[in-house]
Structure 1
């Protein structure tokens, strides 16, 4: 009688482990950000899927490249990568911000002190502090419709004309 009970308990334990692992895999990217001390609105609503490796490499897949606005315009490539640690995204790739008519890549994002209500963006040339409240909710992201490519062509043409 003890052997069937043991098998039953073993089966229940296995089922509960499977349900725990499947529920953790259905965590949205926004819930993942929040669980790592980051605001969920750092990434737009248009996230299709994401992967998070054991080393902390986060790869986020969007439907398409897109634009949204926080304090300035932000451009998300169709794949955004970063190293995710608690309150930090470092080595960001695939995210740029418009500053003074230039598109600058976002390198790191850091919430140093959540009580301050600020989030720090490292855009290579400078550090920019923004209110955490700007990133409370994920935003809609609109197709860039080639805006960045058009701007790049205009700038290229301008430089070629100066030669």
Structure 2
């Protein structure tokens, strides 16, 4: 699995404020700033995504921690690499990085999507159609999926396997952990 994982993933950008501060800051659509306290438990990365106009289910439930600097560069760490079946099988590496701004994640790495027989890195995510869809960018290709698919935070599996069924068609299945 390459470290550039593709998939509707939404990168969770956590804002790691300077060591002397316990607040995380994220921009709203109108560029106003809001602060969430790390100490009150309201600052999970899944809670931050809607503040950026993105659904919370872009990242799996297994987020261990995250950090984000003032320019939107973020790192999300999972407990372990894992797989989620959306419309396609998606792989999340242990570390996901990117840059978040309102309605988009760019320079994404750590998420891959399986298309036919190849794993392709997801390089960006953009809210489109007034936020009703998320466009996942895979190099010069893209695919739009309804935002509602990512309303719930998904649990993921530790393993994925491929098996052949029928006339040689490869089918990806998830194995329970």
Do Structure 1 and Structure 2 share a fold, with TM-score over 0.5?
A: yes
Say which of 49, 52, 60 aligns to 1:36.
52
Q: CA RMSD in A?
A: 2.2
Cross-structure match for 1:124: 139
Cross-structure match for 2:13: none
Q: Deviations over 1:33-63 (max 9, x none)?
A: 1111100000000001100111211100000
Cross-structure match for 2:152: 137
Q: Deviations over 1:66-90 (max 9, x none)?
A: 0001111100000000101001110
Task: Give SS of 1:133's match.
Answer: helix
Q: TM-score, normalised by structure 1?
A: 0.72
Unaligned runs of 5+ in 2: 1-19, 25-35, 163-177
Q: Matched residues in 1 for 2:101 and 2:65: separation?
A: 19
Name the structure with the higher helix share: 1
Q: What is the CA-CA distance between 1:118 and the residue it aligns to? A: 1.1
Q: Does 1:105 align with 2:121?
A: yes
* Equivalent residues, number: 129
Name the structure with the higher strand share: 2
Say which of 82, 85, 96 aligns to 1:66.
82
Cross-structure match for 2:67: 51
CA radius of gyration, larger in: 1
Unaligned runs of 5+ in 1: 1-17, 149-163
Task: Give SS of 1:59's match.
Answer: strand
Q: Matched residues in 2 for 1:72 and 1:105: separation?
A: 13
Task: Give SS of 1:111's match.
Answer: strand
